[in-house]
Structure 1
Amino acid sequence: MTTKSSTNPEIGILELIDPAKCYEFFREKKWPCGICCPKCTSNRVKKNGHKRNAPLCRNYKCNNCGCRFNDFTGTILARKHHPIRVWIVMLYLMGLNLSNRQIAAELDLNPDVAHRMTILLRSEIAARKPGCKVSGVVECDEVYVIAGHKGHPEKVRQKGRAPRCRALKGASGPRN
């Protein structure tokens, strides 16, 4: 049995991730050419404070149309309550091909919550991934697999029993 000691404390992966760097990474990926309004695509945008529950998430106001938005507006992270570092680490762990249960344990989440989050991420990734085009000659084969012996009484006889006789209820006498 192992015990925690003060010289070697357990550190979770989330404690190793810097939230400020997560927000900077997210902004760089969302706006590679600079911040622009999601409504009118103008780059005449000014900072307008931050979210109350996430001080690193910036609010913006467009000087062109007056639209107010934040870092997550128009993304799958809009109106989500988990911190951005949880989402980024979850993407990393999904890339390592960990199961939802392992991801939940690593991020200290309820397995059902982790499952819903991974479904959301996977569906968004699949929607943004370009479709695969097949060109040239394509071959495909058919395989017919018999799931049972229905319609093959000789197979049943080989097993050593007589085929079932399915007569109408109430009918008397042998069936021919």
Structure 2
Amino acid sequence: MKTPRFKSLLARLPLLNGPQRRQVLDALHPATGLDQVVALIDRVRAPARCCPSCGGAHCHRHGVANDLQRFRCCACGRTFNDLSGTPLARLRLKGKWLEYSQALLDSLAVRKAADRIGVHRNTAFRWRHRFLNWVKFDRPPSLNGIVEADETFLLESQKGSRKLDRPARRRGGHAGKRGISGELDCILVARDRHGNTIDAVAGRGALTAAQLERDLLPKLDRQALLVSDGNAAYRAFSRKHKIAHEAVNLRAGVRVRRRDNLAIHVQNVNSYHQRFKTWLLGFRGVASRYLPNYLGWRWALDGGRVKSAEQLFGIAVGRTNR
């Protein structure tokens, strides 16, 4: 719209009655959301903007498409926008992304989130795992001081799969074998006394020292004191890598014991397990292949670490997959 016509339209806005003003606001609301999302994408991506093909940082503007500025890489000649190479590339309805980020912060189920923002439930499910794709990697660089580590188990689930590699069972069923077996997903959680947390789906069945080397060792400060239960895998892992280790004999009823002025226990990490499992109940079961996303989602919410939809959205688009 040209400027004289826009000024004429703007001057007539005070003549609108109440219902008409509400209709105008409703019509402008999607555009307002879109403008917020585009501005946020530019602010998050501008400091580290680079070509997703070659990683080159030298580029120039190259037109606009789908409401986003496009760029051309001066090194390889490829064109891209700020969402290229991110999990949100090629997704539509950008004006509703911040609303959906708030739905994630509110831990809404798929159908409730779809109803709130006005999209199909399949879209809401697809957005959930696209948004959480990078959120699950937003972790502390290391764990220091006293580090509590313990594993918890969830029944393996193939929810949503078209083909099963085992006989079907009722939702919320039980494992066919007693104790810790290959029917259970092993979730390792390590947490220091500052609240920094890392977690991983270690595999199926009992935890092993090899899994600790893969999932815990890269994030564990070598001067840290590792505290665990009596699982032999922690003893073998600590002995091999010369890491200070203290065990709590939970089977004997020992919850807390003292070493000098230090309280030796795993209650912090066990409390985190409980919060995670209680939170999962609202989703009526989750597929095992998506567990890493839910672990990252829970870590973002724990203790109010991510406080706004803008912050969550910034994490979701803050990295480039080259």
TM bucket normalised to smaller = 0.5 to 0.7
Choose between structure 1 and 2: higher helix proportion. 2
TM-score by length of 2: 0.36
Amino acid at match of 1:18: G
Alpha-carbon distance between aligned partners in 2 of 1:95 and 1:58, rounded to the nearest angstrom? 28
Alpha-carbon distance between aligned partners in 2 of 1:41 and 1:123, rounded to the nearest angstrom? 20
TM-score by length of 1: 0.60
| Residues 1:48 and 2:59 aligned together | no
The residue number in structure 2 matching 1:31 is 46
The residue number in structure 2 matching 1:73 is 84
Amino acid at match of 1:112: N
Query: What is the CA distance between 1:23 and its match in structure 2?
Result: 1.0
Report which of the two structures shows the higher radius of gyration computed on alpha carbons.
1
The residue number in structure 1 matching 2:75 is 64
The residue number in structure 1 matching 2:30 is 15
Contact 2:60–2:73 under 8 Å retained in 1:
yes
Which digits, 9 at most, give the CA deviation of each residue in 1:23-64, with x for residues without a partner? 12112112225x43333444431211122xx2x212111223
The residue number in structure 2 matching 1:138 is 227
| Residues 1:98 and 2:108 aligned together | yes
Q: Cα–Cα, structure 1 residues 65 and 139, in superposed 2: closer, same or farther, change >3 Å?
A: closer
The residue number in structure 1 matching 2:165 is none
SS of the equivalent of 2:225 reads coil
Amino acid at match of 1:29: V
Which digits, 9 at most, give the CA deviation of each residue in 1:1-31, with x for residues without a partner? xxxx93766959x637432231121121122
Structure 1 unaligned spans of 5+: 144-176
Which digits, 9 at most, give the CA deviation of each residue in 1:98-145, with x for residues without a partner? 3322211111111232122112322431134347743424243359xx
Amino acid at match of 2:44: K
How many aligned positions are there?
134
Q: Cα–Cα, structure 1 residues 115 and 40, in superposed 2: closer, same or farther, change >3 Å?
A: closer
SS of the equivalent of 1:120 reads helix
Q: Cα–Cα, structure 1 residues 113 and 39, in superposed 2: closer, same or farther, change >3 Å?
A: closer
Structure 2 unaligned spans of 5+: 1-17, 148-223, 230-249, 253-322
Alpha-carbon RMSD: 3.2
Larger RCO of the pair (alpha carbons < 8 Å, separation 6+): 2
Query: What is the CA distance between 1:67 and its match in structure 2?
Result: 1.7
Amino acid at match of 2:52: P
Query: What is the CA distance between 1:65 and its match in structure 2?
Result: 2.3
Alpha-carbon distance between aligned partners in 1 of 2:126 and 2:33, rounded to the nearest angstrom? 24
Alpha-carbon distance between aligned partners in 1 of 2:55 and 2:140, rounded to the nearest angstrom? 24
Which digits, 9 at most, give the CA deviation of each residue in 1:67-124, with x for residues without a partner? 21112111111122x2223223211221123332221111111123212211232243
Contact 2:30–2:96 under 8 Å retained in 1:
no
Alpha-carbon distance between aligned partners in 2 of 1:108 and 1:117, rounded to the nearest angstrom? 13
Amino acid at match of 1:120: R
The residue number in structure 1 matching 2:19 is 6
